[in-house]
Amino acid sequence: MAVWLVPLLLVGAILALAALFLQHRYGYFARRGILHDKPVWIYGNTAEVGKTKTFRDPFRELYTKYKGKAKFAGFYVGLRPNPVLLDLDLIKQVMIKDFQNFANRGNYYNEEDDPVTAHLFNLDGQKWRNMRTKLTPTFTALKMHQMLPIIVEIGDRFVDLLNKEVAKVKKNGEAPVEIKDWLSRFTIDVIGSCAFGLDCNSLKDPNAEFRVITRTLFTVRRHGPLAMGLINTFPKIAEKLHVKIAPDNVSEFYTRVVRDTVDYRDKNNVKRNDFLNLLMGLREGKDGGLTFNQILAEAFVFLVAGFETSSSTMGFTLYELAINQDIQDKAREEVKQVLAKHGEFNYEAIKELKYIQQIFNETLRKWAILPILIRVAEKDYPVPGTNDVFEAGTQLIIPADAIHHDPEIYPDPEKFDPDRFTPEAVEQRHSMAWQPFGQGPRNCIGARFGEMQSIVGLAKLLHNFKFVPAKETQIPLRLSKTAFLLASDHGIIVDVQPI
C-alpha cells in the first residue's frame, strides 16, 4: 500500500465516523416517533438564525405548526435534541408541580477559570438551591423600598439631561432621539448605583467605562454560535479544557470594581442600601457564607441581567406608546393623578400606577426579551398522557414568545393592548400563558427590581415628555437577527417633545 494512502484512509475513516455520529444524533426524534422538522447537519433547526430569521422565529414556527397535535415537538439546537413544550398543562408540570426534577437550566459556567459566570442564573443543583436561599431575602419589598430613592434620583437626572439633548437636536419642530441608547444609560446608572454604590456617569458620558465595558458583553462574543453550541452540548469537556465565556476585559474590570469597593467598605466601615452591601453581609453565615468569587458573580449578574432587559423593555414600551397615542395619554393622566395624591414618586405611589403596570406587562408579552426558557430533566420523566419519556439530561424548551403570540390565548396578538392585563383578564387565562420571568421556584429573582426601575423610569418620562413617531422611526420595527435577546436592529428612534 502506498504511504500516501494511509493518511487518506485515516481521514476517510474519521469523516465516516463523524457522518455516522451526526446521522444517529439527528435521528433522535425520528426513532422515537416525535413530531419534528428536518434538521440541517451541524446547525440543527437554527440554520437560518442570524441570516434570514431572528432567534425567536423558528420556535414560533414550530409552535404554530405542531401545537394541538402533540404535547411537545422535537427541535435541534445545533447538535442538541431539545423537546419544545407545546401544552400549557405540561409546562406547569415541569416548572411547578414536578419542579424537583426540572430545577436546572443546564447553562455552561466555569467556577475556576471564569468565576463571573458561576452566578444564580447558571448554577445548578444544590449550589443553586443554597445560593437562592441566601439571596431571596435581598429582594423583599423592604429592600426594594430602600433602593427606590436611588432610582428616583437618577430618574430626575435622566429627565434633566434628556431635556438638554432635545434642545440640542431639535430641528423644524422635531427632536428625533435614539431613546434605547438613553434608556441603557439610565439603567446602567441605576443598577451600578444599586448594585455597587457607584456613580457610573453613563447619562452624562455615553463613553463612560462602566457602560462601554458592560455593552461589550452584548456586542462582542468570545465564541461564535457554533462554538457556543458545542460548549453547551459538551459542557464537561469544555470545563476540562478551561473554556471561558466572558471576555477577559469584562471579567477583569468587574473583578477590580468589586474587589476595590469591598475593600474600601471594609476598611472604612461603609454601609449602604445596595445589593453589594447585602452580599457582603452574607459572608458570615451557614455553609461558611459567600466567598469573594460568589459575591463577584452575583453582583455581576445583577447588573448584566437588569441592564439590557430593562432598557430594551422600556424602549419597546416607548415605541408602542409613540404609535398608540391614546394609550400614552391615559398613562400620563394616571401619573398626574398619582403625583397629585402623593406629591412624589414614593413606594406607595409606584404601586398605584396600575395602568402603567398593565402597559409594562403587555410590552413583556409582545416583546419577550428572552424568547425561550430552558429546564433540564434530572431523571427520566414519563410525559403525562403519553408513552414518551424525557430522558435524564434532556434540555426542555418552553417557547415563551410563541405562547405570548398564540391567537387562541391572546386574540390579535400583534396589537398592543394593555387591557389584556386587567385583573379580570389575567384571571381568565392559564397561569402559564405569560412567562417573561419564568414560573415556579426558578423564576427570575430580580423581577421585582427590574419592574420597579422600569416603571419609575417610564413614569418620570411620561410626566415630562410626549413621545411621537419621528421621520426616522421604523414602523414596523426591524429586529436584530444576530442577537439572542430580543433587540431592535438599529435602536429605537422617536420624537421627544417636552411637556
Residues annotated as binding site?
444
β 373-376/381-382 pair status: unpaired
* Region for 117 from its dihedrals, namely left if φ exceeds 0, alpha if ψ lies in -120 to 50, beta otherwise: alpha
CB 147 within 8 A of CB 302: no
**CA distance linking residue 293 with residue 258, whole number of Å:** 10
**CA distance linking residue 246 with residue 116, whole number of Å:** 8
Contacts of 122 (CB under 8 A, 6+ apart): 105, 107, 108, 109
Q: Residue 337 is inside which H or E element, if any? A: helix 325-342
Q: Nearest to residue 369, comparing CAs of 311, 453, 410?
A: 311
Annotation: binding site for heme: 444
**CA distance linking residue 355 with residue 361, whole number of Å:** 10
Q: Is the peptide bond before 476 cis (omega within 30 degrees of 0)?
A: yes
Contacts of 283 (CB under 8 A, 6+ apart): 289, 290, 295
What is 354-393 written as a DSSP string?
Answer: HHHHHHHHHHHHHT-SS--EEEE-SS-EEPTTSS-EE-TT
What is 26-55 written as a DSSP string?
Answer: TTHHHHTT--BPPPBTTTBT-TTBTTTB-T
CB 297 within 8 A of CB 116: yes
**CA distance linking residue 62 with residue 72, whole number of Å:** 10
CB 173 within 8 A of CB 475: no
CA-to-CA separations, 277 to 256, 263, 270, 302, 496, in angstroms, rounded:
17, 12, 9, 13, 37
**CA distance linking residue 233 with residue 29, whole number of Å:** 17
Contacts of 124 (CB under 8 A, 6+ apart): 103, 104, 105, 106, 376
Give the number of other Cβ atoms within 10 Å of residue 112's Cβ: 9
Give the number of other Cβ atoms within 10 Å of residue 221's Cβ: 15
